[in-house]
Structure 1
Amino acid sequence: MTDRETRLCDADALASLLDSMARGIVDGRRSGVPLRLVGIRNRGVPIAERLAVRLRDLLGEEVPVGAVDITLYRDDFGHAERWPVLHGTEIPFDVENAEVVLVDDVLFTGRTVRAALNSICDLGRPAVVRLAVLIDRGYRELPIQPDVVGLHVSTELGERVHVRVSPVEPVDEIVRIALND
């Protein structure tokens, strides 16, 4: 099987998407409620960290960033051929009565977000949870919609969208991958 990649965004375009997403987070912000970002491991974390820098510039205050590992909350846990590797949840702040923005790279079926919501709510009761995704490619299996989207990408079910961000990968880009037989 060979895969055919098409670049959708280079590093500069990805940076512009993040700028737009940060403005969207600010525009939808609840006043008087502390803002917290939680990246969904793996690629949601560096995206959340980059958004926090932009939000600091826009708001004039630090926005704390945490990381959530949804592995144990997945609805297909135990169905894999091998045991998953746990990376841990690191949320160094209280989510109680906070505005939590979940951050992920690609929104597809909604199952990852459902797992992240369960994980966050096990830590407390946020005032509100919002969802910010770099890419929304559709094909939801659950009634989950993002509040902030960097880019809507129409795909076929046989395609994937892959976000490459440092430090997870050596390059910043977004590609569409057509799976060929």
Structure 2
Amino acid sequence: MSAARDRSDDAVPGGRVLLEGPDIHRALTRIAHELLEANKGPAGLLLLGVPTRGVPLARRLAQRLLEVEGTVVPTGSLDVTMYRDDLRRHPTRALLPTELPPEGLDDKVVVLVDDVLCSGRTIRAALDALSDLGRPRAVRLAVLVDRGHRELPIRADHVGKNLPTSAAERVSVLLAESDGRDAVVLSAPAAGGGA
């Protein structure tokens, strides 16, 4: 099988694979280098993954940083469930753990890591959650996919792939840790759906 095959051949039920494991690996490696350049090294960095898929992505980024710099960058998770502005519409949500390193986040450069950036509402919730936990020196945002459609003035500092989509399309990130494989899948709107 050719490594340069057409991605349209990678159709999955209800969607088309746009990124595969090697693409995701390269994107995370590039983000790791960008983080190091922006921060002038790994000192003071703290990676916080936004559940669910932001957590394994943060761990992978920490591994890339270790490979490049030989320094362990603290990693944790930040559950934003209780800070979301759509709880009235979707009140039943599983609470996931917020795990911070023992030294906390005060005076750290906190890098929020998420899989897909769309409206910006999840990141707004993450910023609110951070303010209850401490006072970082700075907050940066790293996402695997930015698909546009912002509803709030939020932008990512580090993006693996900008992926223009229609509002009706769905972008799904699959990761080996939870899904058994790495892929980014674009699902078209249902027949008769909006554009």
Distance 1:13 1:33, change over 3 A: closer
Tell me the equivalent position of 1:90: 99
Higher relative contact order (CA 8 A, sep 6+): 1
- TM-score computed with the length of structure 2 as normaliser: 0.87
- Taking every aligned residue pair, what percent have the same amino acid on both sides? 42
For 2:41 and 2:78, locate their aligned partners in 1 and report how far apart those are by CA, in whole Å.
Answer: 25
Larger radius of gyration: 2
Q: CA deviation at 1:167?
A: 1.2
Tell me the equivalent position of 2:120: 110
Q: How does 1:51-70 map to 2 (within 5 A)?
A: 51-70=61-80
Distance 1:32 1:91, change over 3 A: closer
Deviations 1:97-134 (A, max 9, x none): 00000000000000000001111121111000000000
Q: CA deviation at 1:91?
A: 1.1
Tell me the equivalent position of 1:167: 177
Q: Aligned letter for 2:108?
A: A
Q: Report whether the alignment pairs 1:7 with 2:17.
A: yes
Which structure dedicates a bigger proportion of its chain to helix? 2
Unaligned runs of 5+ in 1: none
Distance 1:127 1:32, change over 3 A: farther
User: Is residue 34–residue 99 contact of structure 1 (8 Å, CA) maintained in 2?
Assistant: yes
Q: Report whether the alignment pairs 1:146 with 2:156.
A: yes
Q: Aligned letter for 1:156?
A: S
Unaligned runs of 5+ in 2: 1-12
Distance 1:178 1:95, change over 3 A: same
For 2:40 and 2:30, locate their aligned partners in 1 and report how far apart those are by CA, in whole Å.
Answer: 18
Match among 77, 80, 86 for residue 87 of structure 2? 77
Which structure dedicates a bigger proportion of its chain to strand? 1
Q: CA deviation at 1:78?
A: 2.7
Match among 53, 65, 76 for residue 43 of structure 1? 53
For 2:185 and 2:34, locate their aligned partners in 1 and report how far apart those are by CA, in whole Å.
Answer: 23
Report runs of 4+ in structure 1 exceeding 2 Å deviation: 30-33
Distance 1:31 1:50, change over 3 A: closer
SS of corresponding position for 1:100:
strand
- TM-score computed with the length of structure 1 as normaliser: 0.94
Q: Report whether the alignment pairs 1:137 with 2:147.
A: yes
SS of corresponding position for 2:188:
strand
Aligned-pair Cα RMSD in Å: 1.5
Tell me the equivalent position of 1:123: 133
Aligned residues: 178
User: Is residue 33–residue 97 contact of structure 1 (8 Å, CA) maintained in 2?
Assistant: no
For 1:76 and 1:38, locate their aligned partners in 2 and report how far apart those are by CA, in whole Å.
Answer: 22
